[in-house]
Structure 1
Amino acid sequence: MAVVKSVTIDGESIHVFRNAIYIFESSSGFTLELDLIVSEVVIKKYKTVDNLIVEIELEDGRIINSIMHVKILSGGLPQLNLFCDLDDIQEYADFDRVNENDSWFPNIEDGITIDEIRKVEMPNEDVSIKLNLPINQIEWIKKQKKKSLNEIFQKMINEYWEKQDIK
């Protein structure tokens, strides 16, 4: 059974929480498939891309370089499915095989949570808030830089959050 050691996408190493590499066999042929649990940041980065240059390093030292198609798998944890067609499967003899008619499919979500993923790489999102404040507070807010306001709100929310968790 082949085991993935590391994955590099377009020259950039990505953090992989769980993975499964296998040969998918269908009536139309064979594909090399790599399912990855990654961070939401990685999903956001590649969700609009169709093809990627991927380097897969296996634990036995083999390296697979390929242009792979990308699918974002929806549902539970953030997952990428990378795949490419294979003409010759001889060099992949030790890879797990999944047939389109099989009921078995690799499940890489067991034993990991979104909270564990976010401890490694927490995504940031822009948010707009409409508030009704006294004019002097609005004037003060308008004078602040975005970075400073982000820090103030993060600190304020974290302090409030901690107080709520105590109760």
Structure 2
Amino acid sequence: MPQIKRVKINGEEIRLLNNVLYLHYSEGDGYSLLLDTVITEVDARKYSHKDKAEVLLRYDDDKEESLDMFITGVTEVGNGDVPVLELEVNIDNHEKFRNLEVVNGDSIECKFPDPTVGITIEEVRKIDMPSDKIDITAILPIDLKEWLHSNNNISEILKEALYDYINKKASE
């Protein structure tokens, strides 16, 4: 089976860092096609509250396949884990995917492929760093308080100051 080159979800291309496409077999349910893909935290937030997705897979041989898949899992953002989007669809014709690894869900030795091997959260965040709003309470001299209130780019000032401080501490 060719490797996946591109993935579009609901018409929007997602950034692929790594993925595994495989079959899952369970005696009661039959075969399912599963796609576990490492995505950015920004993309993880987009799909964390969705149940289904129209998925377009483009392989490295330029063949395409469109599937209506269930979103069975999305890694929670903000815990330091590499984010993974898990997609699944039941299939009738597993012979079409005969070159894929088959994971037997009925087996005690069942081990699912892990797309996060060799990928760190720092690498993911270099591609697309999410931003979160935080509230900070500080006790400052009145002149600094007035200066902060007169500036519209407090977030940028704080971000730069924090990165400078982190880099200073790391070099000590």
Both proteins in one fold, TM over 0.5: yes
Give aligned pairs, total: 165
1:88 to 2:93 alignment: yes
SS at match of 2:21: strand
1:72 to 2:77 alignment: no
Any unmatched runs of 5+ in structure 2?
A: none
SS at match of 2:58: strand
1:108-151 deviation line (CA, Å, top 9, x unaligned)? 22211111111111111111101122344333323332xx1111
Partner of 1:12: 12
Partner of 2:127: 120
What amino acid is aligned across from residue 6 of structure 2 in structure 1? S
What amino acid is aligned across from residue 124 of structure 1 in structure 2? S
How far apart are 1:19 and its partner, in Å?
Answer: 0.5
How far apart are 1:16 and its partner, in Å?
Answer: 1.3
Contact 2:44–2:75 (Cα < 8 Å) also in 1: no
TM norm structure 1: 0.89
1:23 to 2:23 alignment: yes
Mapped to 2, the partners of 1:30 and 1:115 lie a distance apart of 35
- Return the match for 1:154 from 149, 156, 159: 159
Contact 1:55–1:66 (Cα < 8 Å) also in 2: yes
Contact 1:2–1:96 (Cα < 8 Å) also in 2: no
SS at match of 1:151: helix
Partner of 2:114: 107
1:97 to 2:98 alignment: no
What amino acid is aligned across from residue 20 of structure 2 in structure 1? A
What amino acid is aligned across from residue 55 of structure 1 in structure 2? L
